[in-house]
Each structure stands twice: as structure tokens, then as C-alpha cells.
Structure 1
Amino acid sequence: MQEQTTQRDYWLCQLAGWGALACVGVLSSSSGDTQQMLRFALAKSFCMVTGLGLSHVWRLQLKRRAWVDRATGIPFGRIIAGLLVLAVLQTGCLLAADLAFRDGALLRDPSTGPVDYAMLFVLWFAIFAVWTLCYAVALARRRAQRAELEKLKLEVSVKDAELRALQFQVNPHFFFNSLNSIRALIYEDAPAAAHAVSQLAGMMRQRLQTDQTGTIPLGAEMAAVSAYLGIEKLRFDERLRAHIDIDPALAATPVPPMVVQTLVENAIKHGVERTVAPCEVRISARLGADGLVHVEICNQGRLAASSTSTRLGLSNAIQRLALQCGPQASCVLAEEGGWVRATVTLPQGAA
């Protein structure tokens, strides 16, 4: 398809350029004799047809030899030699047209001398030189566009690979944590453990489906978070106190899959697991005055500077937000008044 478009554009430019040159040549005749003007127009048209044909043959030569479509080493000497040959041939075609359509009026004109023929040769050399320059510029632009397209394709491929790698980091991490929770529950309450396995199976089924998409609605993400909290509630019982407050108007806001889930896991791991007292986890989403959606995951506790945690979940969330939601999206972790707060900021129209 692209090759057909290129060929079409090439012939449109060829016909437009040589046609315009033919019109200029015909209009340059000042003769008032209709028959002479007709012969002059035929001669000029013949010259433009031969010019078009010679330029097309020249293009085939340039393409075959790749004289102008190369990064380095343009053979200017060979190009100039080719232009000289074209100028000689086209000058000969002009004289042949003069003989065929005007009975050799140009050749029989006593005022026409060698200098005039030399000027015709120089004129055609210049015309073909300009044609070659335009062709070289068109090729350079096409090469630049092709390189830009390849660059964009590579960037998309890299982005897709990064997202897949990040997703592979998240899913095993989540699955491992959930299995640990269920394992701890098996010895205490087998029916509850069976229910938790069913919840986990449903969540994993959903994750397999959402892996095929770049983002999911915030409402779907929160449904998975609620199921996860249900699993963890079975494990921690009264130690985990979860509160979810999501503005229903924001349910359709696109978010990368498991971003909120990952931050909730972190809140439980670094909050609930580290205390024997009840620990509260709050999840909220509001539309800020800046027009951005702010999702907050808070847990009671403190940021431990000496913690051995790799903070893989937080790093993962930050990278996925940047890749999928653009520069306005962010994820910030802070401690304030005995609460650790992870704030996810993203545009309503993130894609």
C-alpha cells in the first residue's frame, strides 16, 4: 500500500512538473500565427514528453545504483556525467522536434548560433539538475520518515516489553503472598481457607483477562482489591480493619491493572503484619481541584528507614503509571501523623 502511494505521488509530481514546463514553453511563444503556434505547442509538448521519459529512465538508474539514496559517499562525478548525457539527449530531442513539427525553423534561423545551442544545453542540464535535487530531497524525507516510524515501532516494542516484565513481577508476588495467607489459614479454619481459594481463583482468572489490556476501570480494580482484602481478613481477622471510600463517578477511570492492588499489599505487609494490635487500612479516591484523580492507600504505622524491603511494589507501580498513563501520573509514598500514605495521581482520561 505504501509503495503504491509512493508511485502515485511520483507520477503526479512528474506530470505536474513537466506539464507546467510545457505550458510555460507554449505561452512563451509570441507568434500570432495560429498554425505556427500549434506547431510550436506540438514541438514543446514533444520535448516535455521526452523530458518526462528521460527523467524516468534517470530515476531508474539512480534507484538501481543507489546514487542519491545512501547515507554516505554520494558519487557526484557520476551524477554530473549522467546529467550531461541527459542534457545532450534532450537538446537533440528538441532539435528533432523542431525538424518534425516546425520544418527546422530553429536550425534555419540565421540569428541562431553555437552560443544559442550551448545555452539550450545548459538550460536542460539545469532542469535535470533541479529535478535530481528535488528527487534526492524527496528520498531523504522518505528515509527520515521511515527511520522515525521504525523508531516509534521500537519504542512501542520496548514499552510493551517493559510492561510485560513489570506484570510478570507483580503477578507472582501477589500470588505468593496470597498462598502464604491461605496456608496460614488452613490449620485454623479449613472452610474459610476453601472459600479463600475460590476467591483467589476468581481473582487470578480476572488477572489473566486484564493482562490482555493496557488499563482497566478503577471500579474493576477495586473489586479485585476487595476480594484480596477478604482473603487477608480471613488471615488477620480483627487485626485488619479495611475501609474503602471510592467516588462512584470515578469508577470508569482507567488505571494499570494491579497498581492499587500492589500498594494495598504493601500496606498490609508493612502495616498489619508488623503489629499485633488492630491496624487500619484506608482506600479512597477523589477528584482533586487540579482535575486529576487521587487514589490514596493509607495504613497505620511508620516508614522504617532501616527496613530490608526492596520496595519492589512501589517501584513497579511508579514505572507502570509512567509507561501507561503519561507524565501527569505519579505515585508518592509519605508518612504523616502515624499514617503511611501512598498517593496515586492519574488523569481521568489516562489510556
Structure 2
Amino acid sequence: MNRIRLYWILQILGWGAVGFIKIFFGTLSSGITSVVVWAFIVLSAFYLISTHFLRYIIKTYDWFKLPFSKLLGLTLISILGMSFVNFVAQILISVAFNTLNPEEDFRVLIILASLFESFLFYALWCLVYFLFHFLDNYNTSLKYEARINEIRLNHLKSQLNPHFIFNALNSVRALVDEDPVKAKTAITRISNMLRFSLMMDKNQTISFEEELNTVKDYLSLESIRFEERLKVVYDIEDEAYDYKVPPMMLQTIVENAIKHGISNFVRGGVIEIKCKEGVGEELYMQVKNTGVLENEPNLQVKGEKGHGLSNTVERLKLIYGENATFRIFDSGQEQVITEIKIPKRIKSSQSNKYS
């Protein structure tokens, strides 16, 4: 619903309810005439007009950007001033409808009660108005943040697609002339991987099984190229299949291990993939490969220019916030270990969008 329309509906219903309550209790106490009823209606209309004027002042001078202490002070002063003006308006309305009783209406207790009643009504209106504004802005901020994160995630995935496809095609290029049969097998695996890369855009997370199958296709393809120089070891616990992971996350880590590790050794090497459920509901993934870190881990992450490890780190941050961890380190003896831990659930601010 349009915010302006909602505002006017609430204004009319709210102050209309105030007028109805006054009329109802006036009828119960001593009975009232139609003239008094109209006086109450006009008073309710004055409440509506005066609060709308206050809203105009708030919006014109942008009170929402003021420090809380100053906003609170201005609001209290405004409520007190409007309460006094409201009392004057009540006197004028009583004069206009010939319902004024000077001996009764000008008693100190009656004046104080009238001012206190007006103060409560205006204070309640301000509380509801400010609360609605801040909650609406907070909700808008959450939607804006989710939308920005969605755009950034889609951008990161669009970077992965050409990078992923190029490496896959590069792996099969040498086989076309040397071994056509293996080339056909490799092309079939590339087809599976391309189908997966196209489908991944529909979801921010996929089942672990889907991701693992793509990794197996990729490593089978690379095994054709490296032959006996590449050995792959899987250690996957059953609990890992209960999790969802960002698409091509594990694939990117394995691809990095081949590109920066195995391919740099004439004798080749080993890739060990270990996935299990850690303490609490979190998935622990480890990729251990033959290789040596040439730079500090953080520098290597930044050096990927958005395609490899830095892409993975950014996506983990966007989807899981601080609940996911990533680290890569040299364990010695020509072994590099990459570890990732992700929770079973996406962070709350993204769950409605990406779960």
C-alpha cells in the first residue's frame, strides 16, 4: 500500500476512534446532546490537523537526522506547545457550540486534566509515528542490503563462469589429436560441468552432493590430462550430504590446487578432499594438495583478482557473514592445505532470500 494513503487511513481511524471513545463515555456518564457530539467530532478533527502540521514540521526540517537527545527535546517541547494550543481550541469549540461552562471548565483541576489528556494523546501519536518511521527505514535498509548482496553475488558468479569454462576447455585441447576416444569422454564431462555452471545461477546455495559430483567430473577430466601424475583421495562422511554450499566453491578450491600446485611439479602430486561435520552444525571441508605457497596466504587470496580464492572468500562473507571461515596455509613437506567451515544455516539477514 502507498505510504501516504496508509498514513491518512491511520490518521482518520486513530483520531476517529478518539472521538468515538469520548462520545461513548460521555453517553454513559450523563447523556449528551447532538451539539456535544459535533463538538467532539470537531475536536477530533483538530487533533488530526494539528498532528499533520507537526508531521509537516518534522519532514520539512528533517528531524530524523538530528541526534537523539535533540530529537527528544524538540518532540517534548512540541507536545507541550500543542497541548496548550489544544486546550485553547477546546475553549473556542465550546464557545462556538455554546457548551462552555466557565465555572466548571476554568477550574484549575479541569484545566490540568485537559492539558494532561492532550499531552498523552500527542505523546502517543509521536511514539507511533517515530516508531513506524524507524521500523520502516530499518526494514528498507535490510531489503536494500539483501538486494546489494544479491547483485554482488551474481557478479561474482558471472566472473566464475568464463574462468571455469576456459580451464575446462584448456584441459581437453591437447587430447583432440592425441586420443580422440579420451577427448570424447572429456567433452562429455565438460558438457556436464557446463550444464551445472548454467543451472547454478538459479540458487545461491546447492546441495553438497551436486557440488561434489561436479568436482569429481572436473578431476576426472584433469586425470585424463595428467594421467598417472595426478592422484585423488576422497574422505567424505555421510553427514556432509545434509549441507548446502555455494555453487562452485569446492570446485574453485580444487581448481586452484591443480593450477598452482600439481601442475608445477613434473612428478605431479596428490589431492586429498576431506569433508565432515564439525563441532556443532557446521561443515568442515579440507583440500590438501601437493604444492608450496609462494606468497603469504592473504596476498595469494588478493592476487586472484576476483576469480579464485578471493572470489570464494567474498561469497562466503556475503552469504554467511562472520559465521564462515576460510584459510589456506603451507603445512610443510610440499603440502598446501585449504580449510573452509560453513554453518548449516545462512545468516539471518539473508535467510529469507538465499535459503
TM, length-normalised to structure 2: 0.78
> Counterpart amino acid of 2:140?
E
Q: In 2, distance between residues paired with 1:299 and 1:277?
A: 13
Q: In 1, distance between residues paired with 2:327 and 2:277?
A: 17
Q: Do the aligned residues in 1 keep the contact of 2:172 with 2:183 (CA within 8 Å)?
A: yes
| C-alpha displacement of 1:284 | 1.5
Residue of structure 1 in register with 2:31 after alignment: 38
Residue of structure 2 in register with 1:331 after alignment: 326
State the Cα deviation string for residues 58-89 of structure 1 (Å, max 9, x = none): 455556xx223334489x99999998876555
Residue of structure 2 in register with 1:153 after alignment: 143
Q: Do the aligned residues in 1 keep the contact of 2:226 with 2:268 (CA within 8 Å)?
A: no
Q: In 2, distance between residues paired with 1:25 and 1:206?
A: 73
Residue of structure 1 in register with 2:337 after alignment: 341
Matched, 1:144 2:134: yes
Matched, 1:297 2:292: no
Q: In 2, distance between residues paired with 1:315 and 1:276?
A: 27
Q: In 2, distance between residues paired with 1:217 and 1:333?
A: 24
Q: Do the aligned residues in 1 keep the contact of 2:15 with 2:45 (CA within 8 Å)?
A: no
Equivalent residue of 2:272, what SS? strand
| C-alpha displacement of 1:117 | 8.7
TM, length-normalised to structure 1: 0.78
1:269–1:15 distance in 2 versus 1, CA, 3 Å: same
Residue of structure 1 in register with 2:41 after alignment: 49
Q: In 1, distance between residues paired with 2:82 and 2:319?
A: 53
State the Cα deviation string for residues 154-195 of structure 1 (Å, max 9, x = none): 211221122122112222221111111111222321222232
| C-alpha displacement of 1:46 | 4.1
> Counterpart amino acid of 2:42?
T
Equivalent residue of 1:349, what SS? coil
Q: In 1, distance between residues paired with 2:288 and 2:7?
A: 58
Residue of structure 1 in register with 2:14 after alignment: 13
| Structure 2 gap ranges (5+) | 64-73, 347-354
Q: In 2, distance between residues paired with 1:72 and 1:61?
A: 14
Matched, 1:233 2:223: yes
2:265 pairs with 262, 275, 286, which one? 275
Residue of structure 2 in register with 1:244 after alignment: 234
- C-alpha RMSD of the superposition: 3.6
Count of residues in correspondence between the two structures: 330
1:19–1:62 distance in 2 versus 1, CA, 3 Å: same
Q: In 2, distance between residues paired with 1:234 and 1:54?
A: 84
Q: Do the aligned residues in 2 keep the contact of 1:254 with 1:348 (CA within 8 Å)?
A: yes
Equivalent residue of 1:333, what SS? strand
> Counterpart amino acid of 1:249?
E
Q: In 2, distance between residues paired with 1:78 and 1:276?
A: 81
Matched, 1:314 2:304: no
Residue of structure 2 in register with 1:32 after alignment: none
Percentage identity across paired residues of the two chains: 26
Residue of structure 2 in register with 1:172 after alignment: 162
| C-alpha displacement of 1:224 | 0.6
| Structure 1 gap ranges (5+) | 30-36
| C-alpha displacement of 1:137 | 4.3
2:58 pairs with 51, 68, 71, which one? 68
Q: How does 1:198-209 map to 2 (within 5 A)?
A: 198-209=188-199
Q: In 1, distance between residues paired with 2:312 and 2:330?
A: 18
Q: In 1, distance between residues paired with 2:45 and 2:180?
A: 87
Equivalent residue of 2:57, what SS? coil
Equivalent residue of 2:59, what SS? coil
Q: Do the aligned residues in 1 keep the contact of 2:237 with 2:275 (CA within 8 Å)?
A: yes
Q: Do the aligned residues in 2 keep the contact of 1:303 with 1:335 (CA within 8 Å)?
A: yes
Equivalent residue of 1:257, what SS? coil
Equivalent residue of 1:68, what SS? helix
| C-alpha displacement of 1:119 | 9.2
1:176–1:10 distance in 2 versus 1, CA, 3 Å: same
Q: Do the aligned residues in 2 keep the contact of 1:87 with 1:122 (CA within 8 Å)?
A: no
1:12–1:79 distance in 2 versus 1, CA, 3 Å: closer
| C-alpha displacement of 1:222 | 0.3
Q: In 1, distance between residues paired with 2:54 and 2:281?
A: 56
Q: Do the aligned residues in 1 keep the contact of 2:329 with 2:336 (CA within 8 Å)?
A: yes
State the Cα deviation string for residues 137-160 of structure 1 (Å, max 9, x = none): 443333323332332222112211
Matched, 1:93 2:93: yes
Q: In 1, distance between residues paired with 2:110 and 2:88?
A: 9
Q: Do the aligned residues in 1 keep the contact of 2:275 with 2:286 (CA within 8 Å)?
A: yes
1:96–1:258 distance in 2 versus 1, CA, 3 Å: same
1:296–1:79 distance in 2 versus 1, CA, 3 Å: closer
| C-alpha displacement of 1:297 | 0.8
> Counterpart amino acid of 2:147?
S
1:128–1:249 distance in 2 versus 1, CA, 3 Å: same
1:2–1:177 distance in 2 versus 1, CA, 3 Å: same
